[in-house]
Every structure is written in structure tokens, then in C-alpha cells.
Amino acid sequence: MSTLPVIVAVDGSDDSLVALDWAFEAALLREAPLRVVHVQQYAAWAGPDILPAGRPDAEDDPRLAQVRRYLAGRVERPATEYVALAGTPSAVLPELGSGAQLLVLGSRGRGGFASLLLGSNGMAAARDAECAVVVVPKPGREVHVDMPIAPGPRVVVGLQTDSPDENTLAFAFAEAALRGARLQVVAAYQWPLQTWAMPGELVAPMVDQDAVESETRALTEGLLAPHLKHRPDVRVDPYVAPGDAAGHLVAASKDADLVVVGRHRRRLLAPAPMMGSVTQAVLLHAASPVAVVPPEPLEG
């Protein structure tokens, strides 16, 4: 059975080369092939008279030629394939996920890849792809840190104790094991609690903050237990705190190898794929690469 490749999208921009470096190392870590893809963009309204016939030739693609030169001379390298495609990146990129173990993108690019994190192609890929999508930011993004962060390799994962996703946790544990990294689990809880008795009347909560934090910590430990049993070699540092989950995850992204977040499940009343506000905020502001993991499929 062949190993699925790590796929990275390039467009000639500096940011896509940063993503290429990350994908290159990820492929080496996984002992997986690397597939470098350039989507030659055509407008969604382009008809058959405008679109070129057949698939573009990767040998004649100047962006892929740039990548070949960029990677030339690296002694240790994964098996690398170069692919040129034509179409609308926001439609083409998510489709690549069905044949990849990871899809890697830069945070910004040129032309059709401009403002990847602000909507457009990157958001479409992270929302729709069947595999995990890693968005790599430009180096030097600063974040405010108000939590203790120990030195050394570290993978961060966000955990919603009221609606956990096993795929997200499993991906984060696997990534930490692969990198020999600690796994920092961020579990945020709402405080202060708000209870409304009548319109305009706020009632004080009947529980104190210590009780809410203790319950959140107990839930966190219970959810992590099966994964720790499967990967006892991974050191886990739970971080339980009140407030905004996105803010804690962005703070934890400083000097992290990777931040792992989940994607919303499709619901009966919202059958289209959804990103989630926390995931979008982390993509916009995190200082480290961010992996967006699709949820485990619903049974039945």
C-alpha cells in the first residue's frame, strides 16, 4: 500500500517558499513523498474557448522550475513530484486533499493566492479538504504571551471539552510523537457564567470559578486518557484557563512547532462545511503553523 504524499501549493511568492520548506521537512519526518503543485489560475467564469486544452505541462511551468532550483543541492530529500494544474485555486486546492495526508499552504501569496488567510483559497481549502490542512505564516509574526511556556519542541492543540473531536486529538498526539515534542492541551472555559432570569435581569451563577475549573480539568483528563494509553511516550501539559479559546491558542503559538485545531462538523440545519470562529481567529493570528483537522465522520 503506497504512502499518501504531503502536498504543498506554490505560486512563486516568498510565503509559498516558506510553506514549501515546512512541507519538505514534514515529508521527511513521515517518510512520505512530496508533491509540489502549482495551480495556474483561471477565472471561474472562463469558458472552454478561454481555458487551455488538457493539463498544463509541469516541465514548462516557471513556478515549478523555480522550486526545482530552490530545492537543488539538498542532500536528504523525499521523493518529489511536480504537478501543474489549471483552474480556480479555491476549487482546485480542496480537491487535492482526497489524495494527501497533508495539504500545506503559505499564509499569503501573489495573484490568486493573495490574502489566503482572509478568505479566498486558503480558507476554502481548510474548510473543505478531506485531509488536514497546514497554513504556514510568514516568520516573525508577534503574539502576546500571558501563559507559562517551557522551552523545547511543542505541539499545541485546542480541546473543546463539551464537544471534543477525536480526529483532532489523535492528529495532535501523532504529530507530537513524530516530532518528539510535548503536547500542550489548551482547554478554555467560559467565565463568568451568565444566567438570565428575566429580560434585562442578570442572575449571579450558583457555582464558583474553582468548581468550573475543576470540572473542566477533570473532563480534559478523561478525554486525554485513551490517547495517552495509545501513545504513552507523549508528555502532555494540560492548560485549563478561563476566557477566550482563540486568545489562549494564539498565545500558546509563540515558538510552537504547530497549533492543531478542529473544523466544525456538518449539522442537520447547516449541512455545508464550516470553519468555526476559533479556528478562523487562530489562522489569522497564530505565530506558528496551524493544522486544521477535519472532524471524524458521523456514523450512519
Grid coordinates given for 94: 480542496
Q: What is the pLDDT of residue 196?
A: 53
Spell out the domain ranges in the chain: 6-136, 154-293
CB atoms within 10 A of CB 12: 17
The topology under which CATH files domain 6-136 is Rossmann fold (3.40.50)
Q: Which CATH number does the domain 154-293 belong to among 3.10.450.40, 3.40.30.10, 3.40.50.12370, 3.20.20.70?
A: 3.40.50.12370
Please check whether residue 185 is in contact with residue 171, taking contact to mean a CB–CB distance below 8 angstroms: no
Q: What is the pLDDT of residue 50?
A: 45
What global pTM score does this model have? 0.87
Q: What is the pLDDT of residue 240?
A: 95
Q: What is the pLDDT of residue 80?
A: 96
**What does the pLDDT profile of the chain (300 residues) look like in tens digits?**
569 999 999 998 888 999 999 999 999 999 999 999 999 876 554 554 444 555 688 888 999 999 999 999 898 999 999 999 988 888 899 999 999 999 999 886 444 444 333 346 777 888 899 999 999 998 888 888 778 888 899 999 999 998 889 999 999 999 999 999 999 999 999 877 655 555 655 555 567 888 889 999 999 999 999 999 999 999 999 999 998 999 999 999 999 999 999 987 554 444 445 567 899 899 989 999 999 999 876 554
**Could you give the CA distance from residue 227 to residue 253 in angstroms, rounded to a whole number?**
22
* 260 phi and psi angles, rounded to 5 deg: -115, 125
In the chain, the amino acid numbered 57 is D
Beta strands 290-293; 132-136: pairing state: antiparallel
Nearest to 84 by CA among 131, 36, 130: 36
Q: What is the pLDDT of residue 19?
A: 94
Q: Mind giving me the DSSP string for 8-76? A: EE--SSHHHHHHHHHHHHHHHHHT--EEEEEEEE--TT--TTTSPSSPPPGGG-HHHHHHHHHHTT-SS
